[in-house]
Structure 1
Amino acid sequence: MDVPEEHSYERVKYIPQNFFETICNDNPDDFETELKKVIFSHVDASEKLGQKSLEELIDYKSQVLLKDITLFQNEGGILNKDIIDLEKKRTATYRKSIEEGLSNKKLELANHQSNKPKDVAKLESNGDYQKSIDEEIKYKRAEKEKLEEELNLATKKKSEQKIKQSNLERISQAIDTFQSQYEKLKTDNEPFLKTIGFKFEDAVQVHIDKNAINTLVETVKIKIETLSDSIKPDNENGLAFKIIKLGEEITNLQSKLDEPTKRYQTYLDDISKWEQREQELIGAEDIELTLKYYEGVLIYLDNELENDLAYKREQRKGVVSQLHEKKRAILEVYKELYKPVTGFLEQYKNINKDYEITFDVSFRLKDFEEKFLNYVNQGVKGTFYGNKEGTVTLKQIILETDFNTLEGVIEFFDKIIICLERDRRPGQGNESREIQSQIKNGFYLDMYNLIFNLDYLVPYYELKLGGKSILQLSPGEKGALLLIFYLILDQDDIPLIIDQPEENLDNQSVYNILVPFIKHAKSNRQIIIVTHNPNIAVVCDAEQIIHVSISKTQDNEMSINSGAIENPSINSSIVQILEGTMPAFEKRELKYTLTKNNMHSIPV
């Protein structure tokens, strides 16, 4: 048999044996591909917008929505990081580390306070010379303390200016990003607008002037550089250098004092260093690893953490709400595109009212279950503990969720979080669990991004028969549904060859389901059916029947006979295959007649 070239023109459509079973059960994505081809064929040429397939048309119509989705996902990713930081602070492990840090810092402070330098009485200096040295040391010590305060202030200001610089540069980068987006919007749309005599600037004008912000950035940089110079120990005009110099001068002067005065000056140095170290240990709430820091963290954990976490989670729900809205908008694009098919089906609903075909489009989950469980450590105690049990639990949550509504999606999120925070397994008493401990190392953020990005919500077309979706249909009904789909929706007028459409269908189903649609399709295109069931040939009123037989006694010799049903030879072949030769047919006819007469004789 010649193999046609890949891009050769299709002259006949062939539906092979087991095609429907394979496409429904083994390759459901293939069926959706076929479905999309037919839907696209029903889209008016003017509505195809120059696109070559339904996927291209959907992508074209969804471009802006997809960009919005990416922006919301990025925003959600930032919130997920914040929430993870808060959830980690919520754990017993984190609290214990803070309590231990506080305990160690208190012990360190107590040890320091127990080693306070002993008081040394100040004695009056003997002689004017000693007094003058003592006064000079006192003056230089005061000057040194003043410079140290200025150095601490300069260090703090430098840190503040660094933060200001970072924020200004971030804003500048955001403006650059916005400008790039604007330029791309202009580049993408200006060519078309020119063809209709419309200027892009008449619709959108953006004025960006970064001179002021750039000047501000440069001013901040100069301040940082000046402060850095003042802090450098090797800068002769800097604070650090002056402090070091004064220290050396004080030491030199102290060497000229008498012993009692020298001991007192040494005491003053020691007590100054001791007080400085005490202040370093006590610290402040914004200085990490200090006493005040640990105390502040514990107060925060007790009084503010839960509120902050709840607020961030509500913010995330708000982002998810906007995400779901954009996803729903894409769903509406799908619905808009299948309207012509719905209208087309409406014309043929009277062909077989018992097997009405309808279209719908909704969200389905794609790859969520597998990815989620890949992030969860199912060997750690929690709701999703155990490969089998945890999988069943997740499947049940998914089964109970309506992902087509925002309320359903929010409820899904809440259930997942609750199941991670509480052990919902029977016999576990709803015991509290730490989320972090149940997630594999390095996948905490990946898990949250998976759940809240909604990438797993994929629009898909659903074909229904008599109100039942494909998943609810029996194998025979699936085959019948897809065959009907090809018979009345496929707009091609090339011949259609169907190999054994009766598979998985009994005679009554063949008559009730297939026959009306086959009869209709015959009026639009040539239908060629390969079958072992003459019922189809008879009840569909075939114009031409080709009977093929093989003689096993004649070395598998094939014989072919063709003609209309009225042809005696063809009629005989039909009877033999259908009823097992004419005598058998006559016996059955007699039996059916008697049965029919008996039914008429039953009193009412």
Structure 2
Amino acid sequence: MDKILREPNIWDLHIHTPLGTPTKKNYGGVSAEEFVDELIKIYRNEDKKIGMISFTDHNKINVEAYEAFRNKSDIAIIPGIEVDVYLTEGAKDSKHIIFYFDEKELSNISDLQKLIEGYIKKKEKVYFEDFVMYLIENKKKFAVSPHAFKQGKRGINYEWTTEDTADRGTSEFSGLFFPFWEAGGKSDICKAIEFLKEQSGEEENQQAVIAFSDSADYKKIKDYIENPHQYFLCLNSFKGLLLAGSDRSRIIYEYEDRPKNNPSEKIKKIILSNDLKKINQKNKIELQLSDRLNVIVGGRGKGKSALLDAIVYKIDNRKIEDRSRASFVKKFDMQITNFNDTELASDTNIVYFSQSYINKLFDGNSQEKFEKFFEKQFAESESVSSGISDIKMILERTEEISSVDDLNVADDLKNIVSIGKKLTNLSIKNKKTKKVPLYSECHGYDKCIRDLLPQNSEIWDEQLQNAFKQFIEQLVENIAKYNYNTLFETKFAQLMKNKIEEEKRKKSRIDKMKGDSKERIEQKLKFLYSKELERIRQINKLYKIEKSKTQVDIQYAKCSGEKDNKFFFVSVANKEHPVEYAKRMIIEAVNKSKYKGFEKKEIDEIFKVYATSQELNENIKDSITFFELEKKIENLEELKAEKVQRIIYKSGEEFINLHNTSPGTQTNAVMEFILHTDSTVPLFIDQPEDNIDNEARYTQLTRWIRNQKYKRQIILVTHDANVVINGDAECVIIANHTSDKFSYEYGALEYGDVLDSAAVILDGGKTAIHRRMEKYGE
């Protein structure tokens, strides 16, 4: 018998033998042994392989058929019998109900026959409740499968003619003892499922519905194996039957290949040594894994996490970040095979979470780990940057000489700076010879022009207002050009000439002997004033940066959780505006003891001091030169900028910043995210239940794991029985460790004593089994 499920199984648990009438005639009057030989021949010749059968004659057990089949075939078989029972004392018609028994009864099948047939022969009528109590008193493990939507009045639903009788009947024949209802075929299965949906309303009814061959001749047996009504995702055993009945998802109506996705990435088999030495025949342990959910369980310190980490280390040793841990698990000699039956590649992509890993993401000390873990999600908002490269690009695109701002040349160089304010020097005179500033809010030039024009509001429609606005803008541009020519080419040249002459006279008085030439003085002054203009242009360029480029910039990516829950991966960047940065750099460069109150000056005054340089040079700190200050402002090398990344969790109408919540809420939310990710990459988790309360484990975590395992292989370590049993693990690995050796046993939940061992080892084992296996007839 296989230890874990590799592919869906076909069961036919309703086969009649030649023991009864008219089946004896249908089979041509053959003996039990001849019947078994023909049956085995049919199964051997079919492309589809039968996994498990049961002989279910009416009110009889064919001991000879069971014994012959056990001796001649390795196909699983469990004892069964179809009993005609009455549900109540007043019932007119009996119902056909099949009882299945543990395969352990096969070793003494004749004793089971005597027990059951003896009871039936003694009774004029077999009443269902009495018969069930009789089996319980005799300590028989059994399961019950009534006919439903089949054979008319022989089905349990025949008398369910009103809503009340349907509700009562459904309740009585669901749950305990009833793994599944047996319908007549695929169409009857659909009818029964639709009926159960209507009965359960919004709650999903877990009652399974199936259909077997109900064969009384070879043709029916052959037709069924060629076209089975359903497939079972359980091992071929009585426990497998009970498990299928306790979880409707274990029964599928279309065949599926396993694994569905990426067989080269999934682990099929692991071979390792039990003593941390090289693998040999004496120390070799072989573990078969499922392509779905694999759980490693065991007592404290028994090697659960060691096995998980050793597997991860073998695939990608970079995942084990703790050096001492890596040094230990490295000692495991291990061979890993994928579902292509080849060695698993060392560069196979996996997702791994060590114990308490999720809490560390939010502890504030692992920003790098946090960003790396959610790298893909935050990458969707990567345009949010905390760097200054975007600002520098804007500055590089800015023209070296601004078309307006650099034309703020007045009659004296000491008033040349007019930065950060609306231009007031580009002005003209009206006919009263009064200067009118172009951009004054109250007496602007556009208002003067407008005052000269008709004021009728009907004339000033939108088209005329736009035309007027364009006219004013063109006028401003022309005036700016005019001012440039008059102020710069004419007045500035005259100013320079006056300054040169004054400097010549000054120099002559101080040192007539040196007699610097007019040409040298002119070059020096041009150099001096060009530097001041450069600093003006430098500051003016910073004003070109829009505030929107440096104010708080927020972008986010959105991912879905369960139902309407959402995860928002928010990136927030906040940068200092370059103008504020320049102001701060200048203030920080000033020696406050020498230049008291400098930091309280208006920003334009601060920039004037910077542009003219002399006053600032006299009061600058010894630790910095004026040239270094210029470079700092030019390169924006100390501009303040920060980028913050946060996860906002939306549950219902509530938005929750996960960074401000408890470890339990963080773990629960991130587990929801992980287990709703659309990925086929194998997932390794050490104790996903950490910090999650018991009810959340049962109602949420196990549901998420069950849904995710159909998309990707999951291998996890757990102490919690809910994860194993209600997560419906396909493979359970039980870890143990003595003083010098590890041991690992594995199997499906329904294999051997796996379920019982898990119940003893795991926290809440008995409660979890009761919740999940409430249909067990024990």
Higher RCO structure (Cα 8 Å, ≥6 apart): 1
- TM-score tier (shorter): 0.3 to 0.5
* TM-score of the pair, normalised by structure 1: 0.36
- Indicate the structure with greater strand content: 2
Greater per-residue helix proportion: 1
TM-score by length of structure 2 reads 0.29
